[in-house]
A and B are shown apart, each in its own frame.
Chain A
Amino acid sequence: MTAPVLRVKDLRVHFFLDEGLVRAVDGVSFDVRPGQVVGIVGESGCGKSVTMKAILQIVEPPGRIVGGQILFQKDSAPVDLTRLSPKGAELRAIRGAEIALIPQEPMAAFSPVHSVGEQIIEALRLHERQWRPSGPRLSRTEARSMTVDLFRSVGISMPDARVDAYSWQLSGGLRQRAMIAMALSCRPRLLIADEPTTAIDVTTQAQILNLLRDLQRRHGTAIVFITHDLGVIAQMAHYVVVMYLGRVMEQGPVEQIFHAPKHPYTRALLKSIPSVNVAPRTLLPTIAGSIPHPLGRPRGCPFHPRCPDAMPGVCSERVPALGPVGPDQLASCFLYHQDEAIEP
């Protein structure tokens, strides 16, 4: 069993606002193995984006990592990313070259006054010594032809012309492909995809997902895939982490999560997917209530006010820890065990 590319252990990210403390990420742990896709799923505000930012150490103030470890397998020994200075050279060498980001809105994520090719060449040049440890320095022409090849490999037609285009001149699908090209340019071992299909239409979405799967198989890149769309998770992920209000509700292999969900939240999420098989005019199930304000987190289990199986006196008083509920499957629910979470 090869060592995991990334091990997140008990990560805690808190935001110190004037109005109070927001525990955006409160004890999240998961492993990412080489070549594996880990999907982080949850509603808005559950902390999945912050987790992603924490991995890259780009959490904006007033947010801060207050606990836990993020172990990245570098060469032969793991490096704790939380111990590295966010502006330091070591972390910057990892960013882009070993861990790359596919951000959420490709339109806004590209600079509007530089061509897309320029921005990719910049990444290539920045990490040149990492993906090409020896040999002559990259020349402009070589960089450009590499970019053209990259574009071709992600399925952008007329790559030579598109290299000089500006992001706002490209369609949504092309932009997203260009973004993927930029992320892959330095052959990272880990890709973080932050809702890559949210901003595009369904047909393009299918193409992009196929592309990602294909690239992943070809290069053996591990992916952390963040989304709120369960359908996408089902297609892409090998392992699923379900988050709610900063805590993990359930995590496990994708087949088990989808076919044998244990946590009431996971169950509710799955039930709320519109299905073709249900008889017409059936009321679409929803989850009762709404997500509480981040500053008004309920006492005890964060989900209990909306949980149909909540046990009064138990779920409203104590916070459940993540415990095993199946082979390689974990859930934090008092229905399955009585372990409490330890608040540091």
Chain B
Amino acid sequence: MSVLAPAVPVTAEDRVSVASNWQLVWWRFRKHRLALASALVLLLLYVVVLCPDFFSTQDPEATEARLAFIPIQRLHVFDGWRPAPWVPDVVGKRNPTTLRMEWRVDESRKIPVRFFVTGYSYRVLGVIPTRIHLVGAAPTDGRERLHLLGTDRLGRDQWTRLAHGTRTSMTIGLTAVTFSIVLGVLLGGISGYFGGPADAVIQRLIELLQSLPTIPIWLALTAALPRDWSPQQVFFAITVILSLVGWTTLGREVRGRFLALREEDFVLAAELAGASQGRIIVRHMVPTFLSHIIATSTLAIPAMIINETSLSFLGLGIRPPAISWGVLLQEAQNIQTVALAPWLLVPGAVVILSVLAFNLVGDGLRDAADPYSQ
């Protein structure tokens, strides 16, 4: 009696579900709860980037030397058991020796705080004029001080400046990495796909750039920027400088991938089917490592952020009056100052938080995009 295979009935489990690669990546990413939480944090930060003025409580440039070094007025959500947000008031005393105002927090005097208040006017995204701010002191006699993160030596509100600094720092990171991606994919692609003399030249260029000591060269380049350039020009220049060396790693990887992919059978099949070179590159080759590019690039953003912060901290990056996290941290260079006003270090905490979030999201993306993990 033979045991020939009978026709196997198709059961429910056998029906094959089809999902696009991006859906698969998203499903895998969703399982990493930490990465998901970090992505949310980043989303929040980018909301601030879109409209820092909405989150601000004061004009970022308003300086008043008298208001220097006001400590943090902590936001309390409950007054007793009533949900009524308030901050403690600050009391100032002129120091008889230094003749400077010294402030301290007075918990007994409460300033009520309201949300969606009217404040100074600004334009959302530079277009829509409005005066609404997220949070502000409920006005009673106009002398209320609301400094959620204190002030610096020039009396500037740190909470506001942090919001504005976030915009600059997060944007630089993103744009620098975007430039790097464009350069890397373009040059790496040309190098890997076409080979020959183009490959040799680009390879040498990559080797050259990678042999340069990055930080000293960055220092030199940023020091070379003329002092009289506008903040926008400086911003643009910094972005270009940061991405000039950053593209090489990606370029090398892309080149490697193209070299390997060129020999793959599916490329040959596409060629035999009559597809043009452009179509092959864009529709067949690039999608195989697009998710990988995105994952590695996400991991490159935090490096850019740290670099910009470090450069600005040294006074060579973004320059005042423009604000970035590095510029804010410049105020904390002096240890005596920091000891007096430790809240000046808060931008550093935000740097760490954003870099952490980027790293976690990047790791999550990389694991999700790798079809061979798990």
Residues of A in contact with B (beta carbons under 8 Å apart): 268, 271, 283, 285-289, 308
When distances are taken between beta carbons in the complex, the residues of chain B under 8 Å from A286 are 3-5
Q: How far is the CB of A315 from chain B (nearest CB, A)?
A: 16
When distances are taken between beta carbons in the complex, the residues of chain A under 8 Å from B1 are 308
When distances are taken between beta carbons in the complex, the residues of chain A under 8 Å from B80 are none
Give the complex CA separation of A283 and B4 in angstroms: 9
The answer, among A285, A289, A308, for a CB contact under 8 Å with B8, is: A289
Within 8 A of A (CB), among B1-17: 1-6, 8
Nearest chain-A residue to B6 (Cβ)? A288
Give the complex CA separation of A179 and B5 in angstroms: 40
Give the complex CA separation of A287 and B6 in angstroms: 10
Between A and B, 20 residue pairs with Cβ closer than 8 Å are A268-B3, A271-B2, A271-B3, A283-B2, A283-B4, A285-B2, A285-B3, A285-B4, A286-B3, A286-B4, A287-B3, A287-B5, A288-B3, A288-B4, A288-B5, A288-B8, A289-B5, A289-B8, A308-B1, A308-B3
When distances are taken between beta carbons in the complex, the residues of chain B under 8 Å from A271 are 2-3
What does DSSP make chain A's interface, helix, strand, loop or mixed? loop
Known: A285-B4, A288-B4, A288-B8. 12 other contacts (CB 8 A): A271-B2, A271-B3, A283-B2, A286-B4, A286-B5, A287-B5, A288-B5, A288-B6, A289-B5, A289-B8, A308-B1, A308-B3
Residues of B in contact with A (beta carbons under 8 Å apart): 1-6, 8
Give the complex CA separation of A29 and B352 in angstroms: 59
When distances are taken between beta carbons in the complex, the residues of chain A under 8 Å from B3 are 268, 271, 285-288, 308
Return the 3 tightest CB-CB contacts between A and B, nearest first: A288-B5, A268-B3, A285-B2
Q: How far is the CB of B9 from chain A (nearest CB, A)?
A: 11
When distances are taken between beta carbons in the complex, the residues of chain B under 8 Å from A283 are 2, 4
Q: How far is the CB of A155 from chain B (nearest CB, A)?
A: 39
Q: How far is the CB of B5 from chain A (nearest CB, A)?
A: 5
Give the complex CA separation of A308 and B1 in angstroms: 9
Give the complex CA separation of A307 and B149 in angstroms: 75
Q: How far is the CB of A312 from chain B (nearest CB, A)?
A: 15
Nearest chain-A residue to B1 (Cβ)? A308
Give the complex CA separation of A283 and B1 in angstroms: 13
Greatest chain A CB density within 10 A among B1, B3, B8 is at: B3
When distances are taken between beta carbons in the complex, the residues of chain A under 8 Å from B5 are 286-289
When distances are taken between beta carbons in the complex, the residues of chain A under 8 Å from B8 are 288-289
When distances are taken between beta carbons in the complex, the residues of chain B under 8 Å from A288 are 3-6, 8
Nearest chain-B residue to A271 (Cβ)? B3
Q: How far is the CB of B96 from chain A (nearest CB, A)?
A: 69
When distances are taken between beta carbons in the complex, the residues of chain B under 8 Å from A308 are 1, 3
Give the complex CA separation of A12 and B6 in angstroms: 34
When distances are taken between beta carbons in the complex, the residues of chain A under 8 Å from B2 are 271, 283, 285
Give the complex CA separation of A287 and B8 in angstroms: 12
Give the complex CA separation of A287 and B1 in angstroms: 12
Q: How far is the CB of B76 from chain A (nearest CB, A)?
A: 43
Q: How far is the CB of B307 from chain A (nearest CB, A)?
A: 37
